[in-house]
Amino acid sequence: MDIVVPIKFVPDLVEELEIDEGTGQLDRTFLRLVPNELDDHALEEALLLKEKHGGTITVVAIDSGDVDETLFTAVAKGADKVIKITGEGYEEGLSSHACVELLAKALGDLSYDVILTGTQAVDDVDGSVGGLLAAKLDLPYVGYVTKAVSEGGKLVVTKEYPGGLLAEVETDLPAVVGIQAAEQAPRYVVTSLVMDAMNNATIDETEGGEATATGAAEITAMRAPEKGEAAEMIAGDAGAVAEKLVQIMKEKGILS
């Protein structure tokens, strides 16, 4: 089974997210970009599929400035090929539509059975890469998947619904699957193996050119959520907070 895993780079929520007052958009000066967590899960699911059924894994990332380490880490984990799409201005931030345009172009000549990618990314405002890419490539798409197995030349995926309900969906290949969670947490790979990959593996580069895709709704401004009726904060150490909470709970009739 030949698998492609596109990885999207998104703002790291550990850092403070600030709005550039001039543009009303996200201030990218001190932004740290990290691989989308669900794309890490997609890679993990791909590795599990490869371990079970053999085949190859190709990881693709758009060069937003600092993607090499992630790509070499993918190699260290077991990816066979890693591709970086290069071009001007990608570090300014690309819409999902723009990402999909670049990915579709890069995947043009490749043959693959399935594209696994995170079912969404934290900074999606114009839809998610998986669903958009599937439509662009005219491939079937199933999202919110937590397990994928190969059966008789088809892919059988487990799709999550609310309340813990699951559905088994079978799809012809090639197909695009949006991963909600891999069957196991993304594995750890020791730094020395990543270093080995950095020294021995190569990242294939492909020129993406200008991302002209339209289709994203127009963002006029970004802002922090209104504090509005924010929480009444309780000061003090754990003991003091516990005291106050017991008091509150008594008032609300929670403690009998």
Partner 1 sequence: MIQLESADRFLAQMSDSVADGERIRRCLQCGSCSGVCPFGFAMEYPPQAMIASLRAGELSPLLDSDSVWLCISCYACTNVCPSKIPLTVGLLSGVKTEKLMKGSVPEELQAALTSARRYGNTLGESPRKRADWMKDLNVEVPLLAKEKKPVDVLWYVGDYPSYHPRVQQVTRAMAKVFHALGVSFGILGPEEQSDGDVFHLAGERGLFELLAGKNAKTFQKYEFKEIVTTDPHAYNTLKHEYPKLGYSFPVRHYTQYLHDHLDKLKSLMTHPIEAQVTYHDPCALGRANDNHIYDEPREILQAIPGVELVEMGHNRTTSICCGGGGGGMWLDGFAWEKAGARTSEWRVLEAVHAGAKVLAVACPYETPRFDDAVKSTNHSGDLVVKDIAELLSEAITG
Partner 2 sequence: MSDVWVNVETLRGEITEISYTMLAAGRVLADGLEGSLTAVLLGSGAKDLSGKLGAADKVAYVDHAALADFNPEAHLKALTALAKSGAPRVILFGQTAMGTDLAYGVAMANGFSMASSCRTFKVEGGEPLFEAVTCGGKLIADGKMPGPTSVATVMPGGYKPESAMVDKTPGVEEVSVDADLGTLRTKVRGYIEPDTSDVDISKIPVLVSVGRGIGQEDNIGIAKELAAALKGEISSSRPVVDQGWLPTSRLVGKSGKSVKPKLYLALGISGAPEHMEGVPDWETMIAVNTDENAPIFDVATYGATVDIMDLIPALTEKVKAATGG
Summarize as ranges the residues that interact with partner 1 (CB under 8 A).
14-16, 30, 32, 34, 185, 187-196
Q: Residue 14 or 235: which CB sits closer to partner 1?
A: 14
Cα distance between residue 107 and residue 194, in whole Å: 25
C-beta of 121: minimal distance to partner 2 in Å?
A: 10
Among the listed ranges 45-53, 55-63, 82-90, 248-256, the one in contact with partner 2 (CB under 8 A) is 248-256
Which residue stretches of 57-190 are H helix? 68-77, 96-107, 129-137
Q: Quick one: what does residue 200 bind among partner 1, partner 2, none, with the CB cut-off 5 to 8 Å set by partner type?
A: none
The answer to whether 34 contacts partner 2 (rule: CB under 8 A) is no
Cα distance between residue 58 and residue 81, in whole Å: 5
Match 């990881």 to its residue by tokens: 59
Among the listed ranges 46-54, 81-89, 198-206, 240-248, the one in contact with partner 2 (CB under 8 A) is 240-248
**How does DSSP assign 12-46, residue by residue?**
-TTSPP-B-TTTSSB--SSPPEEE-HHHHHHHHHH
The answer to whether 169 contacts partner 2 (rule: CB under 8 A) is yes
Match 């127009």 to its residue by tokens: 218
Q: Residue 72 or 144: which CB sits closer to partner 2?
A: 144
Q: Residue 68 or 154: which CB sits closer to partner 2?
A: 154
**Judging by DSSP bridges, how do beta strands 154-160 and 9-11 pair with one another?**
unpaired
**Closest among 78, 70, 71 to 44, alpha carbons compared:** 78
**174-233 residues near partner 2, rule: CB under 8 A:** 175, 178, 180-181, 185, 214-233
